[in-house]
Structure 1
Amino acid sequence: MVTVYTTGPGCIRCKMTKDVMTKRGVEFVEVDIRQNAAAREYVTEELGYSEAPVCVVEDGTGEDHWSGFRPDNISRLAALANGGE
């Protein structure tokens, strides 16, 4: 599972990330950091990001995350989600 932290509908990179994930079959949960103070603190303080979207892969390591529109990372996740296609 992937969590996509966004800054709402006005964020073009957030929309592109969500659209490509949906198209490629990557399941995700969206969290709007403008509406969720704890999520905003997690993204900015714990992960150290200042730009949205921030994508966190829930793989148990806590190490797989990135900021911005990253088609390369989405493709990697899509390959995993689709059995290595």
Structure 2
Amino acid sequence: MPITVFTKPHCPQCDATKRQFDKLGLPYETVDLSKNPSTLEQLHEAGFRQAPVVITPVDSWSGYRPDLIRAYAKQTAVHA
């Protein structure tokens, strides 16, 4: 299951999150929430209030979290 990064336009935290994944060589898919209002509503219902929302096979979070991105990269390197 791939990493999905739910973003919105002109979002510095979203851009920083994608840069961090790129830097660590972690593949991900992006979903633009401004073009997917039903997905935005689902994320709000799930309790997410900040972009980006990152969903990995083992975790999920919102906002720019370089600590969690690095932890995920280390975890996947161990299992690779």
Tell me which of 48, 60, 65 is aligned to 2:60: 65
Backbone CA RMSD of aligned residues? 1.4
2:78 & 2:26 partners in 1: Cα distance? Answer: 12
Q: CA deviation at 1:26?
A: 1.5
Matched residue SS, 1:44: helix
Matched, 1:50 2:45: no
Number of corresponding residues: 78
- Show structure 1 runs of 5+ residues with no match: none
Partner of 1:79: 74
Report the residue type matching 2:62 in the other structure.
Answer: S
Q: Deviations over 1:19-60 (max 9, x none)?
A: 001110111110011101221122111x2111100101134x
1:50 & 1:79 partners in 2: Cα distance? Answer: 27
Q: Sequence identity, in percent?
A: 35
Report the residue type matching 1:66 in the other structure.
Answer: W
Structure with a larger share of its residues in helix: 2
- TM-score (structure 1 length as normaliser): 0.82
2:20 & 2:31 partners in 1: Cα distance? Answer: 17
Q: CA deviation at 1:4?
A: 0.5
Report the residue type matching 2:28 in the other structure.
Answer: F
After TM superposition, where is structure 1 displaced by more than 3 Å over at least 4 residues in a row?
none
